[in-house]
Amino acid sequence: MIKRFVVGNPLETEAILNKVQMSEEKIPYLSVTQQGFSYKLEPEDIVYGLGENVRGINKRGWIYESNCTDNPFHQEDTRSLYGAHNFLIVCGKERCFGVFLDTPANVTFDIGYTHFDEMKITLTQPDYELYVLECETPEEIVGEFRSLIGPSYLPPKWAFGFGQCRWSYFTAQEVREVARGHRENHIPIDMIYLDIDYMERYKDFTIDRETFPDFEELVEEMRQQGIRLVPIIDGGVKVEKGYDIYEEGVVNNYFCKDAEGNDFVVGVWPGKCHFPDMLNEKARRWFGRKYQFLLEKGIEGFWNDMNEPAIFYSENRLKKIFEQLETYKSTNLDVNTFFQFQDLVRSVANNPEDYRSFYHNFRGKKICHDKVHNLFGYYMTRSASEAFEELAPGKRILMFSRSSYIGMHRYSGVWMGDNRSWWSHLLMNLKMLPSLNMCGFLYTGADIGGFGSDATEDLVLRWLALGIFMPLMRNHSANGTRRQEAYLWDNMAAARGIIGLRYRLLPYIYSEFMKAALKNEMYGRPLGFEWPEDTIAVRTEDQMLIGESIMIAPVYEQNAAGRVVYLPEEMKMLRFSGTELAEEKVLEKGHHYLEIGLNEVVLFVKKGHILPLADGGECVDQVDWENLKLYHFAPQGADYELYDDDGVSAAAVLEGHIRLLKV
Amino acid sequence: MIKRFVVGNPLETEAILNKVQMSEEKIPYLSVTQQGFSYKLEPEDIVYGLGENVRGINKRGWIYESNCTDNPFHQEDTRSLYGAHNFLIVCGKERCFGVFLDTPANVTFDIGYTHFDEMKITLTQPDYELYVLECETPEEIVGEFRSLIGPSYLPPKWAFGFGQCRWSYFTAQEVREVARGHRENHIPIDMIYLDIDYMERYKDFTIDRETFPDFEELVEEMRQQGIRLVPIIDGGVKVEKGYDIYEEGVVNNYFCKDAEGNDFVVGVWPGKCHFPDMLNEKARRWFGRKYQFLLEKGIEGFWNDMNEPAIFYSENRLKKIFEQLETYKSTNLDVNTFFQFQDLVRSVANNPEDYRSFYHNFRGKKICHDKVHNLFGYYMTRSASEAFEELAPGKRILMFSRSSYIGMHRYSGVWMGDNRSWWSHLLMNLKMLPSLNMCGFLYTGADIGGFGSDATEDLVLRWLALGIFMPLMRNHSANGTRRQEAYLWDNMAAARGIIGLRYRLLPYIYSEFMKAALKNEMYGRPLGFEWPEDTIAVRTEDQMLIGESIMIAPVYEQNAAGRVVYLPEEMKMLRFSGTELAEEKVLEKGHHYLEIGLNEVVLFVKKGHILPLADGGECVDQVDWENLKLYHFAPQGADYELYDDDGVSAAAVLEGHIRLLKV
């Protein structure tokens, strides 16, 4: 049962691909309040969803805002991350329903924050579409929702390899060193990411020829080593006379405008920038075609950044702030005024007032940015993806974005944004995966080892041991932090082994990913989806099902020699020491304490299931998909449908095939 | 075995009360490096200690700096908190030794951060004393160390009650409302804390008579209700003509000086301030006697704040920053200069350069602050404590400090500093207790519910359920955050029940605390101290022994319906629903999953032990210490030595007595 309610005159976000008829009935479950809805939560209710957000798989106990935000310091008390995903599922004893609010403006979800037993949804705009979905299980609700929003993005097969990133590899030479660091040490790798410094003065679709003089040769040279270079693209275009993108944007009115109709000036990486009006169809087509600049240099993948859009400052705000700072010069700054002074400077970035002071031309209408804020990253990424269909027809291009809104899942993946080298962020990576999967974002993962702050060897190893199960597997760290490439640690062998295991797992990961994408299913599922009657399983948030055959239980505590794992049913534990199986053991239902070394990965095969493993390889192309070793827990026999395809053909020309594996 | 090594001409910190003879031998265990020491860690080595710091009970895997720092946003990657505690224990298969570095300047402890198997200690000053202690067990090392540093501070018995704080209760009226909120709802309470706004313009030892016109009556009125008011004292003295403390300090040269010999100007709460030179004995005596102002108003307890000392800004730095900001006015702020601009403003507070630019008169010598930085809070608190011996002879005064150094444990407790309403900080509270205990700080606890950011009902309830086992039990929250007083939550009954249980536990908590203090033992112990051979127990960091009879295992995960508890041996689980026992059950050695409701407290009685419980009460005075109910797990019988005394007499006149309880 899907019911669609239209309130006011909502903007068409194109989140929903397959619209159902409007319902004239009363809205079920939710009580209508002045600015939204409320719902009484029962003690046993679990609230799933909300995509990219902090806290648990069960979202109860906090207040979340859908308000795409650049927050690399996010904590437990953060309310908004990079994406805005207004889909949730309430799952209780007696009922299970899903809610999707299709509105590109800010929405607040108070899930038992103000009152422990009340969910309150508050909208900032009176025009929206509301979908209520009702099914027996949360999994069915996800299926129904995904059929509404359309199929998930398919990355090329090589994008399931391991990628290494750093803000930044500043020169072609550094890129070559990173490639060598992996290849010489036999640490598998398929991608090296280029962060902002490959560009000339941070200008989109340029190459810094001083530091990357032979960019095209570098791309080809890496390609010969089985490595793709994946450059970053910024959401802002530098204001610079003579820079073609800037000039074209100005002439054609492709940039967002301020209230007076001038091109809106914001500070981003290059300093003063304009935002391409991604919501203006013409501007979007224009911007998307600019990716050609890199495609024709042999690039086959991109990541779109800063497209919340992040604003370091607006020109006007900066002026005002400098004026206000003057008044503090002569003040006796006490506890009150001192914090005001600090807050003033802090308020320069991503200021809500700035988001209210520029405008889009959306379907021919001038619309203030704050009313469509959450669409910017979506439409930027769509601009590229739609262009790829013309520029590289029939070919899958790797693409993932920092900011997102539901609908964008058809065009690209997302990475989980700028995170930190914290054990808590390792655990959050695990918890975020199923929430994003519910919303259609299947190709996703967090920056392994953490982007900001300094990593430690054990953190990176433990995070790799989780990261090998993420569709998007990338190690990334920020300028000024400790280097964390796998080959730089004392215990390089452990990193090599764990990443090597990823390559053994590839046929299974790819198969499960593609089946989930093609059948509107989930790749990573909470235990509560499989064992809804098991009161322990539904509250277990540090384990997860990956595909149909296995459960994972990563170690996320420093200095832990192992961890307690909960088995909702009898399973077979497989312990890998690096790439090799070191132990297999059937464990009964219940809690088990397992020692897990820093070089080990432990996983659990469900009864009646098979885990096919390849021999491995140092890049995806080397992996032999044919000769698989079948690990299984199948006292009665079992079979497994292994999906495969050429790994490069886009959805329109996709020719997938299933191979039945049997034991 | 205690060995003392003297290197260079160390400053006398008076951390060590009972000095041993200097050793002429080679320093054992540690390899001497250019700037300190190194030690090879074996995989199974556990490193305990370092007092107040982030991360685990086992300190391996991070780099810590002893550098007292005001950091209310502390995270996993924080290197310094409010205290500086240079004591650690390395505990391995073959050896167990302790190290104390007595130096008031910055020390860095790289415990397997740079290299997983290496501990590196780096000193910034070439003059120090080093103590190496060798025993069979970490517990014995703690005992030896504590005998060196002298007995721990004894708070009055009423300080083991529950306290409520807020930055701030702005008026006498608000204080009365908080008292009423507890008393009318029968939520036990013994203390209401006064944060900075009780003062006139944040001046130490003043009362704002506009908001607290009848301060003395308020003190007495609260006292009649069984509630003590506990005011805060700042480490800085406001620069204000006519303000007696300021005038006296200037005239007598009691303030810290800048390089030119002028009184050093810093911004703290009141704006421009001077720091009393707490290291100058005369100034210290003078400052300590100022507490008389509040003692004579009936005040019996204090908390010393901002004594790292925290610096919002120095006058000179602020000038420079405003000048530098000018240059940014006309700049195109790009990704590099924008972050420089933000960092510039951020760098105004607690800037290392400021700590290098003022001076103390320490034992007659002019000494730059950075060489004695970690002593400031210690000597400020000592100033008060020494004065109390004259002003209130024989009487225990409640005193705890934010900043500390080993040695201060003789004069006061510490609270764990400004924390946040995060689940991770609840867990950190648990982990920090034994580390502080090792260093002599027994009277301690964290701000329950979290100081900064917004709390939720479940967080406060779970934190209270841990907090009832902390010697210092205080709920505290910051200006601008959600109110979190126990009577304001929907589920007030749960808070009442949990705090009520604290009052039932008081005879045990007081007895265990006092015995630990008088015998140089620990109040909260890691499981590894009791079961060093149990490889699971030594890595279990989310449970703890409280005194001799019980183990606790708090819930620290949101939405968890319970948790897994590890029992290193057979124990009896007691489940309290509020104040009342709801279930008792003997559980065998091993892992157990237990459901634990938000209104419940679960604890575990060790075999052969007794847990005596009182009937409870709404303030400490009401608790009947005589008629105790004995819960026990004593199939063979057991006895318990209950320590008690009058609860107010200071160490010099203490007449404690032991009552033997038997089953």
How far apart are the CA of A578 and the nearest CA of chain B, in angstroms? 19
Contact B413, B382 (CB under 8 A): no
- pLDDT over 90 at B330, yes or no: no
Tell me if chain A has a CB within 8 Å of the CB of B42.
no
Confidence label for A360 from pLDDT (cuts 50, 70 and 90)? very high
3-class SS of residue A65:
strand
Residue of B nearest to A322 (CA): B329
d(C-alpha A221, C-alpha A216), whole Å: 9
- pLDDT over 90 at B446, yes or no: yes
Express as a percent the part of chain A with pLDDT over 90: 96
Cβ-proximal residues to B11 (8 Å cutoff; 6+ apart), any chain = B103, B104, B127, B362, B363, B367, B371, B372
Binding-face residues of B in 337-376 toward A, CB within 8 A: 337-338, 341-342, 345-346, 348-349
d(C-alpha B307, C-alpha B118), whole Å: 33
Query: Which residue, A239, A253, A243, is CA-closest to A283?
Result: A253
Instruction: Write out chain B residues lying below 8 Å of A536, CB-based.
Output: 561, 593
**Which value, in Å, is the radius of gyration of the alpha carbons in chain B?**
24
Query: Which residue, A29, A32, A24, is CA-closest to A91?
Result: A29
Instruction: Write out chain A residues lying below 8 Å of B346, CB-based.
Output: 342
Contact B116, B107 (CB under 8 A): no
**What was the pLDDT predicted at B241?**
97
CB contact under 8 A, B55 and A491: no
CB contact under 8 A, A566 and B593: yes
Substitution target in A110, A335, A490 with the highest count of B β-carbons within 10 Å is A335
d(C-alpha B361, C-alpha B11), whole Å: 13
pLDDT of A247-301, one tens digit each?
Answer: 999 999 999 999 999 999 999 999 999 999 999 999 999 999 999 999 999 999 9
Express as a percent the part of chain B with pLDDT over 90: 96
Cβ-proximal residues to B325 (8 Å cutoff; 6+ apart), any chain = A322, A325, B341, B344, B345
Contact A553, A563 (CB under 8 A): yes
CB contact under 8 A, A456 and B75: no
For CATH 2.60.40.1760, list the domain ranges present in chain A. Answer: 2-149
CB contact under 8 A, B342 and A345: yes
Express as a percent the part of chain B with pLDDT over 70: 100
Q: How much helix, strand and coil, in percent to the nearest 5, is found in chain B?
A: 30, 25, 45
Tell me if chain A has a CB within 8 Å of the CB of B64.
no
d(C-alpha A142, C-alpha A404), whole Å: 18
d(C-alpha B137, C-alpha B152), whole Å: 21
Binding-face residues of A in 269-308 toward B, CB within 8 A: 269-272
Instruction: Write out chain A residues lying below 8 Å of B557, CB-based.
Output: 56, 541
CB contact under 8 A, B591 and A335: no
Specify the CATH class of A163-235+278-311+363-507 in words.
Answer: alpha beta
One-letter amino acid for residue B204 of the chain: D
Dig out the tokens for A109 from the structure.
């979800």
d(C-alpha A70, C-alpha B376), whole Å: 39
Number of other CB atoms surrounding residue A345 within 10 Å: 18
Query: Which residue, A424, A479, A476, is CA-closest to A446?
Result: A476
CB contact under 8 A, B335 and A196: yes
Substitution target in A559, A591, A595 with the highest count of B β-carbons within 10 Å is A559
CB contact under 8 A, B312 and A333: yes
**Mean pLDDT across A447-465:** 98
CB contact under 8 A, A490 and B116: yes
CB contact under 8 A, B56 and A558: yes
Contact A546, A506 (CB under 8 A): no
d(C-alpha B212, C-alpha B217), whole Å: 10
For CATH 2.60.40.4040, list the domain ranges present in chain A. Answer: 508-662
Query: Which residue, B501, B506, B409, is CA-closest to B461?
Result: B501
How far apart are the CA of A335 and the nearest CA of chain B, in angstroms? 4
Contact B216, B298 (CB under 8 A): yes
**Mean pLDDT across B348-372:** 96
Tell me if chain B has a CB within 8 Å of the CB of A336.
no
ipTM: 0.97
A196, A559, A562 ranked by CB distance to B60: nearest = A559
3-class SS of residue B172:
helix
**What was the pLDDT predicted at B651?**
87
Phi (first) and psi of residue B64, to 5 degrees: -115, 145
How far apart are the CA of B65 and the nearest CA of chain A, in angstroms? 15
**What was the pLDDT predicted at A642?**
98
Tell me if chain A has a CB within 8 Å of the CB of B90.
no
Substitution target in A111, A241, A418, A558 with the highest count of B β-carbons within 10 Å is A558
Catalytic residue among B277, B418, B485, B512: B418
> Cα separations (Å) of A16 from A36, A90, A184, A485, A522?
21, 21, 48, 40, 18
3-class SS of residue B283:
helix
- In terms of phi and psi (left: phi > 0; alpha: psi -120 to 50; beta: otherwise), the region of B98 is beta
Tell me if chain A has a CB within 8 Å of the CB of B559.
yes
Tell me if chain A has a CB within 8 Å of the CB of B235.
no
3-class SS of residue B133:
strand
B62, B201, B566 ranked by CB distance to A456: nearest = B62
**What was the pLDDT predicted at A183?**
98
Confidence label for A329 from pLDDT (cuts 50, 70 and 90)? confident
> Cα separations (Å) of A661 from A613, A629, A640, B583, B599?
12, 10, 5, 51, 51
d(C-alpha A255, C-alpha B213), whole Å: 61
CB contact under 8 A, A335 and B424: no
d(C-alpha A250, C-alpha A275), whole Å: 11
Residue with tokens 């080990």: A600
Cβ-proximal residues to B209 (8 Å cutoff; 6+ apart), any chain = B200, B215
Phi (first) and psi of residue B437, to 5 degrees: -55, -40
d(C-alpha B226, C-alpha A85), whole Å: 51
Catalytic site positions of A: 305, 308, 418
pLDDT of B623-660, one tens digit each?
Answer: 999 999 999 999 999 999 999 999 999 988 999 999 99
- Residue B277 catalytic? no
d(C-alpha A89, C-alpha A106), whole Å: 19
**Mean pLDDT across B8-26:** 95
Q: C-alpha A496: how far from its chain's center?
A: 25
**Mean pLDDT across B12-36:** 96
Confidence label for B326 from pLDDT (cuts 50, 70 and 90)? confident
How far apart are the CA of A64 and the nearest CA of chain B, in angstroms? 13
**What was the pLDDT predicted at A651?**
87
Global confidence as pTM:
0.98
For CATH 3.20.20.80, list the domain ranges present in chain B. Answer: 163-235+278-311+363-507
Specify the CATH class of B508-662 in words.
Answer: mainly beta
Count of H-run helices and E-run strands, chain B? 14, 39
- pLDDT over 90 at A383, yes or no: yes
Contact A361, A11 (CB under 8 A): no
Confidence label for B93 from pLDDT (cuts 50, 70 and 90)? confident
Residue with tokens 């304009």: A274
**What was the pLDDT predicted at B94?**
87
CB contact under 8 A, B58 and A559: yes
pLDDT of A542-569, one tens digit each?
Answer: 999 999 999 999 999 999 999 999 999 9
Number of other CB atoms surrounding residue B296 within 10 Å: 10
Beta strand extents in B505-599 (DSSP E only): 524-525, 544-546, 550-552, 562-567, 571-577, 580-587, 590-595
One-letter amino acid for residue B537 of the chain: A
Confidence label for B501 from pLDDT (cuts 50, 70 and 90)? very high
pLDDT of B149-163, one tens digit each?
Answer: 999 999 999 999 999
Dig out the tokens for B447 from the structure.
């701000």
Specify the CATH class of A2-149 in words.
Answer: mainly beta
Query: Is the Cα dihedral A202, A203, A204, A207 positive or negative?
Result: negative
Tell me if chain B has a CB within 8 Å of the CB of A535.
yes
Phi (first) and psi of residue B543, to 5 degrees: -140, 165
Confidence label for B66 from pLDDT (cuts 50, 70 and 90)? very high
Tell me if chain B has a CB within 8 Å of the CB of A631.
no
Dig out the tokens for B312 from the structure.
């919002």
Query: Which residue, B464, B448, B420, is CA-closest to B54?
Result: B420
Cβ-proximal residues to B526 (8 Å cutoff; 6+ apart), any chain = B48, B57, B434, B538, B541, B544, B545
Q: Mean pLDDT over all residues of chain B?
A: 97
Let me know the angle formed at the C-alpha of B622 by B617 and B624, rounded to the nearest 5 degrees: 90
pLDDT of A32-79, one tens digit each?
Answer: 999 999 999 999 999 999 999 999 999 999 999 999 999 999 999 999
